[in-house]
Structure 1
Amino acid sequence: MTLPRLLAIVLLTLCPGLVAHAGGKKGENAGISFHMQGDPSDNPKMIFEQFNHGKNMVFRRNPEFMTKDIAAFKPFPSEDGQGFGVVLQLKPNARNRLVAVTNANVNRWMLAVVNGRRVDAVMIDKQVDDGHLVIWKGIGAAEIDAFDTQVPRIGEAKPRR
């Protein structure tokens, strides 16, 4: 094994925070991702388990949609009174992907993850072609404030701060 490779392995072993940060953009405060339900027979490295609606399910590690796919958003108070939900308007390319993904995954679950925290899941009951995704609950006021610095609200031209 070469010295640079050995050094890299030692650094990654001793500094696990480097691996966690490498996947995201520096300064990204409000990361949102959506993960499709997987199959238990999928490669174990490509899925993770999540307790959802009374049973353990598996979801794909690779997200279908991420913060970079969002053109605008609109928060609303969640029905349970515990924080907020958001309507997310997708960019044109992501909007086209949403049509294809939802068409191919009717009767499967999509999980919303905010800042690494699994917050909500929805059953896809039909193809979605309006370009909007909704997280119904689980978003805090601080996360809305952070997202306001990255993405404009629906109907506004630029982020608020």
Structure 2
Amino acid sequence: MSKAGRFFCVLILHDSGLAKIHSVVIITPMLSAAMRFLIFTLLLMCPLIAGDKNPGANAVSFHMETDNANNPKMVIERQIAGKMHYFQKSPDFTHKDMVAFSPFLADNQVDFGVVLQLRPRAARRLESLTTANQGKLLLATCNGRVVDIVRIDQPVSDGFLVIWNGVQDAEVKQWDKVAPRIGQKKKKS
């Protein structure tokens, strides 16, 4: 086979837990050696760049109630007390907005609730959203599973979100590894 007929094919697969990214890059010998090296190096760095996209353990998200007029692909449907409710699929808050937490034993004495302290920017967003959406529901998920739903009855201006139940003991232990308890110093990375 001649040199002109050879090429390298690199296949990149990345699974972020929500979507899979597939790409194929073909590097031909017509590119200079330096250019091939640069492309190969950049391809090797792709998983590092995408590394923060995976929520990992204890992914928490909060989703505001919406109406069913939105695109069906953009909403989460939940039946609550015999009535269908719709929530935005795109979260309003996630674990990345959290700076500290404090678990407590839920009323059912089986699982836990947790108070989440938000970053200042997220706290301002929370106050704004709860002011504008009084009477609506806010759905909380942990690791993709619905754990709690609360009705917004007043603006929340203190920067704290509460999940009243549904958090498992193992999830609290995982949070202890990555975030401080409220009032404690920041965990060392």
| TM-score normalised per structure 1 | 0.83
Aligned residue runs from structure 1 range 1-161, under 5 A: 19=19, 25-26=53-54, 28-159=56-187
Larger strand percent: 2
Aligned pair count reads 151
Query: Which segments of 5 or more consecutive residues in structure 1 lack a partner in the other structure?
Result: 1-6
Alignment partners' CA distance in 2, 1:111 and 1:18: 19
Query: Which segments of 5 or more consecutive residues in structure 2 lack a partner in the other structure?
Result: 1-10, 22-49
Once the two structures are TM-superposed, the CA of residue 24 in structure 1 deviates from its matched residue by 6.7
Alignment partners' CA distance in 2, 1:17 and 1:132: 27
State whether residues 16 and 54 of structure 2, in contact with CA within 8 Å, keep that contact through their aligned partners in structure 1.
no
Letter in 2 for 1:119: V
- Structure number with greater CO (CA < 8 Å, separation at least 6) is 1
**What is the RMSD of the two structures over their aligned residues, measured on CA atoms?**
2.7
Q: Structure 1 residues 148-157 or 131-140, which shifts more?
A: 148-157
Determine what percentage of the aligned residue pairs are the same residue: 45
State whether residues 111 and 169 of structure 2, in contact with CA within 8 Å, keep that contact through their aligned partners in structure 1.
yes
